[in-house]
Every structure is written in structure tokens, then in C-alpha cells.
Amino acid sequence: MAEPVVYLWGDRVVGGFYRVHKDRGVDENLNAPGMHFEPIAFPQSCHEPCRQSEPDAAQNRLYVYGVVAQLSMLAAAREMKEFSA
């Protein structure tokens, strides 16, 4: 089982890794003893999808990871604003 973790700089994905745990299932927390990290290779820019490539091509997969990361940052900002008011 693995989950992507990406780093954003502004609205751009600038790096990341996969958190991997071979003894965990799809509904279990991977952040536990026995996990390890695998780097995500960024062979090309991923700030926009490549329509000529397959949906699962590295550039398109990394683009989706970036969109999800941006949405999570937006949600966190909204929560911070809500709780600080």
C-alpha cells in the first residue's frame, strides 16, 4: 500500500515521495512502524496535464497529485480562517 505526498511551492508541485507500508491495507494508516519512503521521480514538469499521454503517465499522475494537494491546502486555509474568527 502506498500514498503520494507532494510538496507545493505556491501553486506548483516541487517534489514528493510515496509513503509505503507493505503490511497495511487500503483502509489502514500507513504512518506506522514498518513504513518507508520512495521518491517520486519528476522527469518533466507536471503543472499541466499532457493530453497526448495516457491518463496514468507520470506527468498526468503528478498533475492529479498536485490538484489534490492544492485542494487540501485550500480546505486547510478555510478551516484556519473559520476557527480564527
Strands 12-20 and 2-9: antiparallel
Strands 36-39 and 12-20: antiparallel
What is the DSSP secondary structure assignment for residue 16, as one 8-state letter?
E
Q: What is the pLDDT, as a whole number, of residue 56?
A: 84
**Residue-wise pLDDT tens digits, 33-85:** 999 999 987 777 667 888 898 888 878 888 888 899 999 999 999 999 988 86
The contacts of residue 70 (CB under 8 Å, 6+ apart) are: 8, 11
State pTM to two decimals. 0.74
Is 30 within 8 Å of 5 (Cβ atoms)?
A: no
**Residue-wise pLDDT tens digits, 6-35:** 888 888 888 889 999 999 999 999 999 999
